[in-house]
């Protein structure tokens, strides 16, 4: 049985993008859809039995109609190719009130052929071209479904999370009794697991996640444990495999060095001692690249120094989301010709330029020394550090002295 495992699409992330004039879409939406198309093409071309998606379809719980349409189009292609699809609910998919539906519940409501939704903790049996598979569905834990108000009354967030962790662990132990050991069994979970390394999802979260111990997931009853929520691909355990596929596309600069793609999993369908093989399949995700340029205080042509650094990294910059960080003395800021810098970066997909100002060592003072300065002395040092002419410094100091005299003395 051949399975594709992926997660964390976050359709709707539009950072570092612009509007594509041909489609009216954000160019970042097009990036995510292109990545998803690569996966769908692979699944159809390689006659995959099941596509397993482990949560966070959209960036928000209320995606636009366009975003929903584009996702549904890809699911339709898989369904038409006789490929089963399992969709797990992630934290970004959850509604903001009890009783409201998620944006992916519509596929369950319409009973779309070969599309199954994991919106609760349950066992889902799915027929595929190679036989049945059972999936233990563990969506992002909803406090309301696991705990009562009495359970959480007067508790801190950490204490509530501990109760949720205990409830999930007990549920996983209890649900194993209902499993059919004669067919392949997969745990699909959108959750934080102990000892996993975080990625770009940290910028999308508020507060602390419930964290499940790896030992509670890596149970012999599971042939494969497919995880979502952490955006960095990683294998946490090999027997059974416990794997985060990571996000399908790079979402911000914390993903800069991360490979993006999906896992291809082969599970034998025999009843005992099933052999499981898995391999990460890379896709051409959008490049992110940070260029750090340091300009020294004595540089007579700082713009030229920056342009040389850009030229040297031409291959990394082309078609990439580029962040240029300039480290320079503030006195050289006015010498930077930014129009030339942006022109040199014309081959980038998206550009941002930031500046970090270095302290001029000639005028650097300790806090103790600053406290001993009189106001006019401090003003004089500041004006000199900005390379202001002596004549203008004299005028500004005169005005400063006049203002200081007008300030009433503070008693006590």
- Please state the rounded mean pLDDT for residues 91-112: 87
Tokens coding 328: 């320079």
SS (H, E, C) 108-135: HHCCCCCEEEECCCEEEEEEECCEEEEE
**Of the spans 89-103, 208-222, 286-300, 388-402, which averages the highest pLDDT?**
286-300
Element (DSSP H or E) covering residue 354: strand 350-358
- Angle (deg, nearest 10), helices 390-406 and 375-385: 150
Residue 239 scores a pLDDT above 50:
yes
- Please state the rounded mean pLDDT for residues 261-286: 94
User: Which pLDDT tens digit goes with each residue over 32-81?
Assistant: 999 999 999 999 999 999 999 999 999 999 999 999 999 999 999 999 99
Asked: is 2-282 a CATH 3.40.50.720 domain? The reply is no
- Please state the rounded mean pLDDT for residues 113-118: 96
What proportion of the chain, given as a percentage, has pLDDT over 90?
Answer: 67
The pairs formed by 309-313 with CB atoms below 8 angstroms and a separation of 24 or more are: 310/341, 310/344, 310/345, 311/344, 313/289
Q: Say what the pLDDT of residue 271 is.
A: 79
pTM listed for this prediction: 0.82
Tokens coding 335: 């010498």
Tokens coding 293: 């340029």
What does each C-alpha distance from 308 to 235, 312, 323 come to in angstroms? 40, 6, 16
pLDDT level of residue 272 (50, 70, 90 thresholds): confident
Residues 6+ apart with CB under 8 A from 267: 1, 3, 133, 184, 186, 223, 224, 274, 275, 276
- Angle (deg, nearest 10), helices 65-80 and 27-45: 10
Interstrand relation of 224-228 and 241-244 (parallel, antiparallel or unpaired): parallel
Q: Is 315 helix (H, G, I), strand (E, B) or coil?
A: helix
* Extents of the domains making up the chain: 2-282, 288-358, 367-406
What proportion of the chain, given as a percentage, has pLDDT over 70?
Answer: 89
Distance of CA 298 to the CA centre of its chain: 40
Across all residues in the chain, what is the average pLDDT? 88
pLDDT level of residue 411 (50, 70, 90 thresholds): very low
Place of tokens 């507060």: 207
Q: Say what the pLDDT of residue 307 is.
A: 97
Q: Say what the pLDDT of residue 259 is.
A: 95
Residue 132 scores a pLDDT above 90:
yes
The span from the CA of 168 to the CA of 189, in Å, is 11
- Please state the rounded mean pLDDT for residues 398-404: 82
Could you write out the DSSP letters of every residue in 11-39?
Answer: BT--TT--B-TTTSSBHHHHHHHHHHHHH
The span from the CA of 350 to the CA of 333, in Å, is 23
Residue 10 scores a pLDDT above 80:
yes
Residue 389 scores a pLDDT above 50:
yes
Could you write out the DSSP letters of every residue in 247-300?
Answer: BSS--SGGGTT---EEEEEEE--SSSS--EEEEEEE--PPPEEEEEEE--TT-S
DSSP H helical segments within 90-213, as ranges? 105-109, 143-146, 149-152, 157-175
Residue 160 scores a pLDDT above 80:
no
Residue pair 108/117 in contact by the 8 Å Cβ criterion: yes
Residue 26 scores a pLDDT above 70:
yes
Residue 336 scores a pLDDT above 60:
yes
The span from the CA of 39 to the CA of 114, in Å, is 17
The span from the CA of 120 to the CA of 372, in Å, is 66
pLDDT level of residue 123 (50, 70, 90 thresholds): very high
Residue 188 scores a pLDDT above 60:
yes
Residue pair 349/27 in contact by the 8 Å Cβ criterion: yes
């Amino acid at each position: 049985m051949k399975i594709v495992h992926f997660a964390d699409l976050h359709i709707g992330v539009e950072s570092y993008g612009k509007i594509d004039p041909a489609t009216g879409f954000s160019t970042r939406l097009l990036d995510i859809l292109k990545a998803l198309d690569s996966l769908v093409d692979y699944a159809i071309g390689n006659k995959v039995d099941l596509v397993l998606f482990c949560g966070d379809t959209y960036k928000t719980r209320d995606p636009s109609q366009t975003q929903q349409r584009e996702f549904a189009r890809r699911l339709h292609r898989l369904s038409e190719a006789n490929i089963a699809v399992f969709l797990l609910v992630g934290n970004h998919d959850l509604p903001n009130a009890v009783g409201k539906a998620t944006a992916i519940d519509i596929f369950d409501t319409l009973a779309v052929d070969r599309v199954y939704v994991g919106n609760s903790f349950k066992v889902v049996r799915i027929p595929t071209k190679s036989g049945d598979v059972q999936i233990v569905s563990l969506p992002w834990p909803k406090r309301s479904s696991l705990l009562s108000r009495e359970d959480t009354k007067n508790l801190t967030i950490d204490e509530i999370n501990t109760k949720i962790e205990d409830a999930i662990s007990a549920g996983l132990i209890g649900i194993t009794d209902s499993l059919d050991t004669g067919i392949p069994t997969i745990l699909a979970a959108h959750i934080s697991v102990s000892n996993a390394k975080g990625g770009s999802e940290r910028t999308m979260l508020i507060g602390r996640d419930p964290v499940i111990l790896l030992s509670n997931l890596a149970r012999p009853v599971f042939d494969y444990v497919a995880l979502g929520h952490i955006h960095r691909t990683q294998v946490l355990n090999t027997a059974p495999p416990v794997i985060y596929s990571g996000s399908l596309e790079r979402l911000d600069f914390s993903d800069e060095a991360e490979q993006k793609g999906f896992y291809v999993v082969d599970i034998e369908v025999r009843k005992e001692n099933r052999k499981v093989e898995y391999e990460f399949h890379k896709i051409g995700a959008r490049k992110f690249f940070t260029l750090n340029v340091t300009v020294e205080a004595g540089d007579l042509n700082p713009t030229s120094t920056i342009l040389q650094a850009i030229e040297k990294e031409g291959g990394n910059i082309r078609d990439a989301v580029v962040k240029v960080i300039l480290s320079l003395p503030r006195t050289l800021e006015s010498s930077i010709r930014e129009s030339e810098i942006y022109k040199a970066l014309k081959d980038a997909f998206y550009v941002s330029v930031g500046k970090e100002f270095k302290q001029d060592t000639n005028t650097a003072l300790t806090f103790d020394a600053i406290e001993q300065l009189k106001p006019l002395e401090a003003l004089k040092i500041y004006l000199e550090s900005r390379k202001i002419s002596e004549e203008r410094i004299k005028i500004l100091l005169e005005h400063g002295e006049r203002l200081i005299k007008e300030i009433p003395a503070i008693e006590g």
